[in-house]
Structure 1
Amino acid sequence: MIVNGHTQFKLKDTEDMFKVGERTIRYDMEYVSEWLKTYGVYLDHASGQGVWELEEMPDAGKRKELDEAMNLYGRADAAAERFLLIIYELLMQDLSQSLRQLAEEVDVSRGTVLQEMEKVEKWSEVFNLTLERGRKGFVLAGSERDKRLALLSVMSQLESAWNSMNPVPYLNWSEISVKEMETAAKTAEEELPPDGSPTAFLKVWMLHMQRVRSGRTLSVGDKQIKIEEWFQAVWERFCRGFNMEPGEGEMEFAYCYLSATSNLYNGSEPDFETDKAFISFIEEISTRMGLTGFNTQHLQHIFKEWRAYFYAGDCGIQFIHPLRQKVEEQYPFIVFHVKEALTSHMPESFIRNTDSMIPLAMSFATIYEKASFDNERYQIWVMCPGGIAAGRLLTVSLMKHFPQLEVKQTAAVSMLHKTEGWEKPDFIVSTVTLPDSPYPYVTINPIITDNEIKKMEHFIKDLKQKNGSTKITETTDSIHALIPPSRICVKDSTDLDEILQTGVALLEQDHIVEKHFLEDIRRTIIEKNYLYEIVPGLSFVHTHSGHVNRAGFSLLQLKQPYIEKDRLHSHAVLFMATPDKYAHLPQLQYLYQLLTNADRVQQILHWEEKN
């Protein structure tokens, strides 16, 4: 954790990570502190706070030294990682593994391994694998292809858990030497095109060598797969370099997996405009999320993920995405809309599991974040045909007097009709009139005086009133994207404590908060009287709490309004929980869009009437 940049360690957080008691962590931290001192790194205990802190962050050289020292001792794995390593060991072996063997491999007790077996069984079902129990131990039974897909998902999840660019060196490879591993990593960097992923290719190649040398090979699939010539050439060079048979089935599997997981692109840009289903999908997402436009680069990137999604279905490639949980927690509304849009535009046979949709959701999340950031300020153009110097002066003066403006470019008049998507400005500041401008504009003298400043202020104010805030245009589903129906209910009570209990219970049933969250809410709302309306009629309940697992919202509609001293007249109460200062921000941005749309606000306040 120190090598990865952490400077502070809370005992409670560390307990949850390693699934051990506070006493164990306390003893371990004392040992770690003493060990770090030998490397000139000082970790001190903040007495009474349950926190250990570094005096200062080690520099890059020191962190590398610590990393190398840790590798000599081996890697201590958190509970989630141990679970994945148990699966890895079971998949790599074709014979039954006893509890003792598995416990020795992952350095835990036999009881700990036994407790994980139910999770192992459930996880393996995704890949059509069966956990068989017998007198000699445990074995995962299934086809070689399904085992490979499961192993690749395990490696991807470990890569994410370890924050490692390459998990390969930390895993057991009985048929591969360290020298071969290093050579393969170097060759992958050199051979693959710029759009390819050397790390993803290396995982596939290492697994290929290990399994083939263990006597487990893949045959060609039922479907005819067209493999690009450049990939065939790369694969054959690898095979010659490591004295392996090319094997059509092996090469086909590698090509299909890398293509289906967006890790293999050729140099040509995809032609998304001819794919009517894709264009329809984009229009649906645009309407649902209130995104007003996509430029060519956005669409090309999304189209690559779109093609990978369907290619995975065609080739039967299944995977568990390592970032699924985080994406669903941060952007539940985006995952929701992607699912709904795919369902409404595709036959049922094309709809796959949520993991396969995560890359698409992440693409939209990237665009959504950029749009949210851009929406914080006006994106403007400056047009000043009078000369470069005057244009620069006007630009700098605008930035000085109006921090809410971001000058995207000093544009020529010819640019007025050549821009698409988010390259479009919110308005133009020009030194000349623009009678045929498709965008709002204001004329300003390059030398900004007090009168010019007032003119700009009035223009911005008028523009804001004209534009309003109607970004989301679809049905009530937009609210479900943020708050699922399971966390929305109607309450026939005006008792504040009953309202709080019900709203928190909705969060607790989805494991967003723990039981003690209610006490934290009571302390803030009742004892400190910290309750307010974020829009007329909607009270907002939130607090700082250490009993939150992830960010989320619940909504309580009231049959009778909650009235408090003429200060509140609330028809609904919105509850928010967040584990820190940042986890809730993407959802809060989406909530802002909902609350700045009059129709959506009415649906929130009067859900029972509207639904």
Structure 2
Amino acid sequence: MIYTNRFQQILKIALEQDEEYISIDALSKRLKTSRRTIFRELQNANLRPYDLQLVSKQGKGIRLEGEKNNKQRLLAALETESIPYLNKEERRKLLAFELLRFPEVKKLVYYGNMFSVSETTISNDLDALEPWLSSYAICLDRKNKNKIRIFGKEEDRRKAMSEIIHDTIGAKEAAIDYLDPKALQKEIFESSQEGILQLLNQELLGSILDLFTLERKELGLDQYVQSSYIGLIIHLVVAIERIKKGQPIESDPSLYEEMAHTSNMVQAQKIAKRIEQIFDIQMPQAEIVFIAMHLRGAKSINPTEGGEDKKIMEVVYCFIEDFPNAIASCLSTDPQFIEGFVTHLRPTLIRLNRSLPIYNPLLDTIKTQYKELYELTLHAAKHIEKIAKVSISEAEIAFMTMHVGASLERRRSEARQTKLHTGVVCASGIGVSALLSARLQYVFGNRLILETLSLEQYKDRFEQFDLIISTFDMAEKETKIIKVNPLLSQQDIDRIREVIEEIHQSAHFDQEDGAMEKLKRIEKMSESARHIIDDLVFVTVPSQMDLSQLIEEASVLAKGSPSQIVKDLHRREELGSILIPELGFGLLHTKTTGIEKPQVQFLWPDQQYFTQYENIEVVFVLLLPYEANSYDQKLLSLISTHMMEDDRLREAVFAHEERHIQQVLSSIYLQSIHAEMA
């Protein structure tokens, strides 16, 4: 039975415990990974071949149950070192990587033991790999089954390895701080089911991650995108391991001449010097040249607005537009697809322009199992051929189909996920928490239905929420509570992901009651939205008005008790004014007993700016009844959130286009109501 490396570790720990339980927290600490990852590994536990069972008990953890001889049989199997794989294509990719990584002579049986298959299977794999290796001018010598090796230039082997690495990590772009070594190791290297990443020497990997993190600015590494950064790490881990084993690294002298006086070579020499000091090795000149070449081909976080970048984006959008509307809409609104496809397309265009062949072991599978999507991609790729003036092979079309299919699957996966009703709590409620809500929305998308709350509202309504996210310590209640930094650090994101997974693991929703509650919520929300838009107030005021005068003006324009509104607005302002000159607006807001329904006002100065405040073109006022329900709270919060992140609403407000403001807000509210219906 093939198990992932991490699941093998879990089983070994469970065997050590014998009859004792071990908690999920203890496993998480020992394996230096998240509770979420442990739960994911346990979901697919299959120990039937050993007549054993992993039993879990609430409050205690897990333990392994079964006969002692069966446990010994499992332990013996775990101690037989092998590499996990998913299928034939994956095994062949790993075999190719191993051949390229260490080209010295090996026996056929060596690779058979490595992948837990027969020598005949490895021989068939080598048959399939030989044409692909030849496309990189690499010769496979296998006349004798006890002398398997490859021949070829170092630079050609590097190109082939780069292709495998790119295919492995290209779809692993994640919303993480990849310059944080713990986040990178957890989200990319440790969480990967790809054997290639598990093949890496973990001790060397940890040392490289530490070096790149501590000295990333000095080494100039903070300028590269995630895929280029990770690719460099993988190349260096492999190279250092080869150098430590005394294996030669050679390159064409013309490559050195080409790179000698470039800024990439200067940067590569600086990186090589630090590696020599840390690992006590001598970096060959050939290896430094390869580092420089990698840096030259790396994609920058802040690319120049050159013709090449514009051309690639033009190609991508023409490619997207050729798909049917439903697919095109999914692709164009998926930043992960666009970033990943651009990253993939950049080296692809270089390879196609140089007529370098490519091998895709999944071509036949994709053409058969995803025939319709392959045909659509084939048709869309004609735009790439026309604009870039290249010819695209079936193998490359299959890679593009994989990118498109991954985006569609992400969308389907998001639609299947249960959405958690999440309260975001800050001391000031509506205004300040909008920034945190915007960040949460960006990271977690539709997985969370967000609602901003004041502390008073939280106390009254905490039981209505699946999850509470707060910027300060709060008394523990039955609802899950997570304290976060207002800027939402990577550690915060990891913790939220773990809690979401835990909630999904344990929650049992009553769907019939949930449907009734959802209908009621949608009905009330729709009614509140209509009242807010119908009662919008637009007014031009003297530009010299100060804050107190603006509060007086707002109280007069409101439907309710002016004196109470003035009192409550001043009380709120004592906590701190919300003026955002970078975005050109200010916000007055409060919860007040002076009104019965939520009200929104837009106050424009009679000149371009309010003279008392730098670069403020509008002040908008959000008034919420003291006993307001959650629907009113959410609808007002959407206005502040979209004023911060939605160009459409800001542009309409700055242009004083009252009708357009109503239309944009109607669209925002309709979108929110649709989300409630999902």
Bigger share in helix: 2
Provide TM-score, normalisation by structure 1. Answer: 0.46
